[in-house]
Amino acid sequence: MASRKPLAGSSSTLAKNYNPPNRITPLSNKLEPNPITSTGLNKAIVGPSNLERDQTGRSVEFFSDTDVCPVCNSDRYLNPDLRLLVSRCYHKMCESCIDRIFSLGPEPCPICGQILRKSNFAPQTFENLKVEKEVIIRKRITKFFNKRPEDFASLTDYNNYLEEVEDITFNLINDVDVAETEAKIKKFKQENQDLIAQNVVHEARQAELIKRKEEAIKREREERKAELIRLEEEARKEERALKDETINSLATSDVSAEKLIARQRILAQKKSAARALASDIATKSTLSMPSLHGLLDSTTNQTDEVQRPDIELELNKWNNYSNLFELQRFEDAYRPGYVDEQSISLVMNDNGLAFVGGFNLEDVWERQIRSSLMGLFVPKPEEGSINQLISDDAMAIDLVTS
């Protein structure tokens, strides 16, 4: 049989158009550009996951090398510039299919049939679409359910509110009673419209306040760093000047070298102490608070000191009034006629065994006196409080043991 010949020009054309890939040798580390990741739409950090990030490092868009459009079955092998967007029903679709289907107006989703618009598609941020769905739902719920603990009469009411918000979020994430849940959200928005707007303004003010504080802290650190650098530079200049002055003095002065060096050393120590003091002042400089004009609510205190409990007032209730008495020393108490002379004699006649381990009669007396005077003006415990229960238990124990 005659061997078949290739079509005229076909083999030569393939041979001419075929460019073998450059093999990377140990002496050549040149990397070939990836046609997928080098496109304008898919600038990414190549790794376990392909993520497009912004200037702050936050992930903006996720894509994979194995992406396939479920509508047209186009993949990155056929279309290196393939970009999949996620719909409101959390189904992926390429940009070409979105333009083709939704350019003229709302159309049903080719996968689930939900009516969608072109504006309902957004880039995918997370690899798992379930996580994507939960994040979007929680962002939406947080916009309206933004009540604060100050908006409730008690902590129990606030906890019940948080539990209700979690139930609503769970229903939307898992598609449980969606219509009823959406109606509940709509009703809440209508009933709390003014409060929602007020809390939105409050959150914006708090965010601006935090931003200004962070900027002030950053500015203060930069100023402190510049001050320390300036002090170090001055120290080096003074050290060089002192060294030159010492050399000139040794060459021109009649004073002995030992005295001159000792004098210069004392002067250097004084200057070093002054620089250390200036450095401490620069390091411990107080942070100037940023301007908070117009950012604080009328109900918000400008300092946290007002909101903290008065610890000193609580401790003063347990004052032992030690300034009103003077503890009697052991030598003064150990004399005939003292009410506890017998027990003291037993301790003293025990050949010092009672004092092993640091036992001291004066400490015992002082503790008894302080305990007898401490808490004289503490108010009576309220009914049902934990202090009342403890005091009742103590009284019951006293009755049983007596």
Q: What is the pLDDT of residues 233-255, one digit of tens each?
A: 888 888 888 788 778 877 777 77
Fold of 28-127: Herpes Virus-1 (3.30.40)
pLDDT for residue 61:
77
Taking the CB of residue 44, how many other CB atoms lie within 10 A of it? 21
Place of tokens 């046609």: 35
Q: What is the mean pLDDT of residues 195-224?
A: 89
pLDDT for residue 306:
44
Q: What is the mean pLDDT of residues 38-58?
A: 47
Q: Is 68 helix (H, G, I), strand (E, B) or coil?
A: strand
Measured CA to CA, the distance from residue 228 to residue 199 in angstroms comes to: 43
| pLDDT at residue 221 tops 50 | yes
Token duo for residue 6: 């290739």
- pTM over the 0.75 mark: no
List the one residue out of 345, 320, 315, 317 whose CA is nearest residue 330.
345
**CA dist 2 to 5, 11, 67, 156, Å?**
9, 18, 47, 94
pLDDT for residue 308:
60
| pLDDT at residue 319 tops 50 | yes
Measured CA to CA, the distance from residue 111 to residue 348 in angstroms comes to: 97
pLDDT for residue 162:
92
Query: Are 36 and 30 a contacting pair, CB within 8 Å?
Result: no
| pLDDT at residue 45 tops 50 | no
| pLDDT at residue 27 tops 90 | no
Cα R_g (the chain), whole angstroms: 41
Token duo for residue 48: 């376990």
Measured CA to CA, the distance from residue 261 to residue 388 in angstroms comes to: 76
The residue among 133 and 279 whose pLDDT is bigger is 133
Q: What is the mean pLDDT of residues 96-120?
A: 88
Output the CA angle 230-234-238, nearest 5 degrees. Answer: 175
Q: What is the pLDDT of residues 378-401, one digit of tens each?
A: 666 666 555 554 455 555 555 545
| pLDDT at residue 8 tops 70 | no
pLDDT for residue 169:
92
| pLDDT at residue 294 tops 60 | no
| pLDDT at residue 358 tops 60 | yes
Measured CA to CA, the distance from residue 356 to residue 348 in angstroms comes to: 12
Comparing 8-12, 193-197, 274-278, which segment has the lowest mean pLDDT?
8-12
| pLDDT at residue 163 tops 90 | yes
Measured CA to CA, the distance from residue 70 to residue 229 in angstroms comes to: 61
Domains in the chain: boundaries = 28-127, 196-283, 311-401
- Which residues, at least 6 apart from 355, have a Cβ–Cβ distance to it below 8 Å? 347
Query: Are 184 and 168 a contacting pair, CB within 8 Å?
Result: yes
Q: Which helix (H) or strand (E) holds 198?
A: helix 193-252
Token duo for residue 24: 């990377």
| pLDDT at residue 289 tops 70 | no
Q: Which helix (H) or strand (E) holds 370?
A: helix 361-373
